[in-house]
Amino acid sequence: MISFSMSQMKPSDIRLQEDLERRIVHGIACEWENALWVLSPDDRRQMKQPLFSLRTLKSRLGYWSGSKNEISISRKFALGYPWDDVRDVLYHEMAHQYADQVLNTSEASPHGPDFLEACHRLRANPKASGRYKPLHDRIHNRSISNQDRILLRVKKLMSLAKSGNRHEAEAAMTKAHELMRKYNIELLNKSSYRNFVSMFIGSPALRHHREEYHLANLLQKYYFVQGLWVSSYVLAKEKMGRVFEISGIKENVKIASYVYDFVKNTIDMHWRRYNRQGMLNRYRKTDFAVGLIEGFCDKLAAQKQTLAHRGNTTALIPLENPMLQVYMSHRYPRTRSFQRTAASQDDQILKHGFDIGKDLVLSKGIEIKKNSHKFLAE
């Protein structure tokens, strides 16, 4: 990330920077208040709303000052990382606050048993400080580990989708899904504890288009993650909105994140071609997008049937990771369901999208640049 000191910036840029930082601090305050809902009423009353600030912190991502009743977040980190990473650090500092104000800790170590208990109650990450590597860096790093071998094999198979040979591309995509399923079955047969991660997919918003909900369902049904629509701060609106958050082992979250970006970019690319005259409005793009996602789901379901006919007896058995269920139940102890009202749609446009989705083949993701954390469809 390229940064400049205020003395190097134009007055207009300084005002823009100050407004951005003000919005971020306001968002941190909103997230702090929203995070209290997991606590008991008595604990919430003991948590005094602190001051919030962005500071130049050289060796820390955040800092809790009990004497000042203040939570500080690294300015560079808050400006340069996705919001769920910033929230991760905030929750960590809230755990320090909880240990001070609720548990009245007198521990010599700042990360002792009282702090760990505070992290458990607040659903905070005890590692999110100091030299901690943020989730988006861990999800999108290029290093190779034993745990990433399955991911590398899946990505190599996806890269074959660029082949001009339609049969070869289809076979590679089917094999990639077969490999993912086999890997997840092996995980379920292991009794060892799995480290789960949670990550925002898409951007927080006050309202989401209908295709976002269809895409969320696709990821949960076919890519071994669980998800929830959770509250999150919308920077541009300075209000709390919602965002879809997926949870699972790192490898599955990484693949699901790639699939999300690929499908979103594919929708945009094909919609520009379909609506080249610019005569159709945003509602019709939603119809097109929903059709494309439903067509892709239909294709993935057909692939499951193909694997079953080949003798893969596990292909049609739903995979549910009980440890992931426990993780989700702890992270979100109180959830509620909601229904969206049915909207009018153009069946012809939806059908055009559906036909494209049925022919969709995932191809290898590429990063735009080193620190962008985004993928493009090739």
| Mean pLDDT, rounded, for 312-323 | 60
pLDDT digits (tens, 9 = 90+) for 212-226: 999 999 999 988 899
Handedness of CA 323, 324, 329, 332 (dihedral sign): positive
DSSP calls for 23-42: HHHHHHHHHHHHHGGGS-HH
Q: What is the pTM of this model?
A: 0.79
Residue 124, strand partner residues: none
The pLDDT value recorded for residue 312 is: 57
Whole-number Å distance between alpha carbons of 96 and 129: 11
Q: Which of 85-89, 119-123, 331-335, 353-357 has the lowest mean pLDDT?
A: 331-335
SS3 230: strand
Closest alpha carbon to 204 in 181, 226, 176, 230: 230
Strands 70-74 and 51-55: parallel
Q: Where are the domains of the chain?
A: 6-132, 146-376
Question: Is domain 6-132 in CATH 3.90.1150.10, yes or no?
Answer: no
**pLDDT above 80: residue 170:** no
Q: Give the three-state DSSP class for 167.
A: helix
Task: Dig out the tokens for 73 from the structure.
Answer: 């977040």
Report pLDDT for 109: 81
> What b-and-e string marks burial along 29-61, b requiring 16 or more CB atoms within 10 Å of the CB?
bbbbeebbebbeeebeeebeebebbbeeeeebb
Which residues neighbour 138 within 8 Å (Cβ) at sequence distance 6 or greater? 197, 250
